[in-house]
Amino acid sequence: MRDLDEDALLARIFPHLPRGASTLVPPGDDAAVVAAPDGRFAVTTDVLVEDRHFRRRWSGGFDVGVRAAVQNLADVAAMGARPTSLVVSLVVPGDLPAQWVEDLARGFGAMCAPLEVGVVGGDLSGGPVVVVAVTAHGDLEGREPVLRGGARDGDVVAHAGVRGRSAAGWALLEEGRADVAPDLVAGYLRPSSPLALGPAAARVGATAMIDVSDGLVRDAGRIGRASGVVLDLVGPSAYGADVAALAAAATALGRDAGDWVMTGGEDHGLLATFPQGRALPEGFRVVGRVRAGEPGVVVEGRAWTGSAGWDHFG
């Protein structure tokens, strides 16, 4: 980095960043211009900070790029929108290898290119730690956005995506036991989100939806409180395959796999509610029911007494 000026670094980054199918004016001017054929756009922002959200000794630039892209695109998908574009503000220390930054760009590219999402803008500054701030946009394709507050008594609760892998992978890294289950570690470093299922859920009439970033229980509670209903989730015993996939890690660390499934954060699955009897898009699995009652979440009819999920702040 010390050897490179900003222009030289940008020249290494740009080839990895896809233009995107919705980009009308690409980066390079004062602003980009993106198509919003629906006459509206969904927009969300999330920031990753070194030593808060990732550690450079665990996460390479590619991993951080994938993760920053996924967590923002999942927020767009959770509105029922199709992601179209994102912008990245990047802060990098002077001793960061230029290759790390190029790998970050490759990570963004790997996530965005197959979706035809454009990386349409960016800013670059020096600073004491790596900070990656992303803003992502999506097109609602004529549908109403799926909010957190639309769940109704009698709806089914369904989830798409993995459960507990990111938390388990993080715990393995934390304890120096990545060797136990490299697939779980990869699930933490480079989460994958069923992004196409956000618009698919909206098309079949999802009444509420959320990106599961803070764990099933906690994010279900958010839908419950926003909707004024109770989400009654099945418990870990219903997730045999998920628990089995985490068993080796749980045993090695003396942890509870069911707790990871219920409260592990950063898997970026989609949790949605649907009117009863609706055929769900393939990939969603029913994990509970909505009923009237004190707004929030219960598991098998009772308050969940496991971990409260993750909170990176403070």
CB-nearer residue toward its own copies: 88 or 173: 88
Q: Tell me, what DSSP letter sits at residue 302?
A: B
Residue 133 Cβ vs its own copies, minimum distance, rounded to whole Å: 4
Write out the binding residues for ATP: 122-123, 148, 213
Sign of CA dihedral 308, 309, 312, 313: negative
Is 117 a residue that touches its own copies (CB under 8 A)?
no
Residue 267 Cβ vs its own copies, minimum distance, rounded to whole Å: 15
Maximum CA pair distance of the chain? 62
CB-nearer residue toward its own copies: 129 or 247: 129
Only one of the segments 81-89, 180-188, 246-254, 283-291 lies at the binding site for its own copies (rule: CB under 8 A); that segment is 81-89
Is 25 a residue that touches its own copies (CB under 8 A)?
yes
Q: Which of 60, 61, 65, 122 binds its own copies (CB under 8 A)?
A: 122
Is 67 a residue that touches its own copies (CB under 8 A)?
no
Write out the binding residues for Mg(2+): 30, 44-46, 75, 123, 211, 214
CB-nearer residue toward its own copies: 234 or 270: 270
On the 0-12 / 13-18 / 19+ scale of CB atoms within 10 A, 73 is: buried
- CA separation for the pair 140, 146 (Å, rounded): 10
Task: Tell me the CB-side half-sphere exposure of residue 232, using CA atoms within 13 A.
Answer: 13
Is 294 a residue that touches its own copies (CB under 8 A)?
no
CB-nearer residue toward its own copies: 113 or 226: 226
- CA separation for the pair 110, 65 (Å, rounded): 9
Only one of the segments 56-64, 78-86, 174-182, 290-298 lies at the binding site for its own copies (rule: CB under 8 A); that segment is 78-86
Question: How many Å separate Cα 177 from the centre of its chain?
Answer: 24
Residue 91 Cβ vs its own copies, minimum distance, rounded to whole Å: 6
Per-residue contact string for residues 26-65; x = within reach of its own copies by CB under 8 A: ---xxxxxxxxxxxxxxxxxxxxx--xx------------
Instruction: For residue 195, give the nearest of 71, 88, 108 by alpha carbon.
Output: 71
Question: How many Å separate Cα 218 from the centre of its chain?
Answer: 15
**What value does the CA radius of gyration of the chain take, rounded to a whole number of Å?**
20
Beta strands in 141-295 (DSSP E): 156-160, 208-212, 230-233, 269-274, 284-291
**Ramachandran region, residue 25 (left: φ > 0; alpha: ψ -120 to 50; beta: rest):** beta
Is 197 a residue that touches its own copies (CB under 8 A)?
no
Only one of the segments 115-123, 157-165, 256-264, 298-306 lies at the binding site for its own copies (rule: CB under 8 A); that segment is 115-123
- CA separation for the pair 245, 135 (Å, rounded): 33
Give residues in contact with its own copies (CB under 8 A). Answer: 2, 5-6, 24-25, 29-49, 52-53, 74-76, 78-79, 81, 85, 87-91, 94, 120-129, 131, 133, 135-138, 140, 145, 147-149, 209-211, 226, 311-314
